[in-house]
């Protein structure tokens, strides 16, 4: 049986799925049609019910629990590695709440965390995660919400951190940041769901 499988180009995801896709583990007769896309594109596929197995944001999963089951392995829980709100220059909280902010997607955990930290920030512009630094640098937005490895490169480009949303979450809750998980569609037969989970 061939199943659609979605994951992002993030190194964590490519590592997780490498063995399954390259014959390094027994997939018990399952084959996969791969969709490697940014996490918001995967979230959208999941909302449309277009994908059997996928990585998605925990924020999106909260809306999809009737359609998908969380697998036992592959979740991304972070400590000191959450999304960052960045800009060309420091900004006050009031300025942030009225700013044009590039986000990696409406249903991303990053946007959920931003909404908790700045509930009045509503001028959000969905932008491919890898382009967020550029749109901030070009002045197309006042600030940007970066994820993945961009958190390690923004300073080299002259950008400044306004808020570490992972730190905000951990300080507020005392818990690791629930970034994303791997899910399987509940419409698949139970034995197939169990094979995927193994």
Residue with tokens 């999941």: 46
Whether residue 55 contacts residue 196, with contact meaning beta carbons closer than 8 Å, is answered with no
> Dihedral of CA 143/128/42/32: which sign?
negative
User: In CATH, what number does 84-173 get?
Assistant: 3.40.190.10
Looking at the chain, the domain(s) classified CATH 3.40.190.10 span 2-77+177-197, 84-173
Residues annotated as catalytic (active site), given as ranges: 148
Residues 6+ apart with CB under 8 A from 153: 133
Give the pLDDT of residue 47.
97
Q: Which residue positions in the chain have pLDDT lower than 70? A: none
Give the pLDDT of residue 160.
98
Total-model pTM = 0.89
Beta bridge partners of 87: 143, 160
Give the pLDDT of residue 150.
80
Query: What is the C-alpha separation between 64 and 21, in angstroms, rounded?
Result: 26
Q: Which tokens in the block code for residue 170?
A: 């951990």
User: In CATH, what number does 2-77+177-197 get?
Assistant: 3.40.190.10
- Continuous H helices in 64-174: 93-98, 109-117, 132-137, 165-173
Give the pLDDT of residue 10.
84
């Amino acid at each position: 049986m061939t199943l659609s499988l979605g994951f992002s180009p993030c190194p964590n995801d490519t590592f997780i799925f490498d063995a399954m896709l390259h014959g390094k583990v027994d997939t018990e007769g399952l084959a996969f049609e791969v969709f490697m896309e940014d996490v918001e594109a995967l979230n959208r596929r999941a909302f449309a019910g277009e994908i059997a197995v996928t990585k998605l944001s925990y924020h999106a999963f909260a809306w999809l629990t009737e359609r998908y089951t969380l697998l036992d392995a592959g979740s991304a829980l972070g400590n000191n590695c959450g999304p960052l709100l960045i800009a060309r220059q420091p900004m006050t909280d009031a300025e942030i709440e009225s700013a044009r902010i590039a986000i990696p997607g409406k249903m991303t955990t990053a946007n959920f965390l931003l909404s908790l930290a700045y509930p009045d920030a509503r001028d959000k512009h969905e932008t491919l995660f890898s382009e967020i630094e550029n749109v901030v640098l070009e002045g197309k937005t006042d600030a940007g919400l970066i994820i993945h490895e961009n958190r390690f490169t923004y300073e080299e480009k002259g950008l400044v951190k306004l808020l570490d949303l992972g730190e905000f979450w951990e300080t507020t809750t005392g818990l690791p940041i629930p970034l994303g998980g791997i899910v399987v569609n509940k419409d698949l037969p139970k034995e197939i769901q169990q094979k995927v989970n193994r």
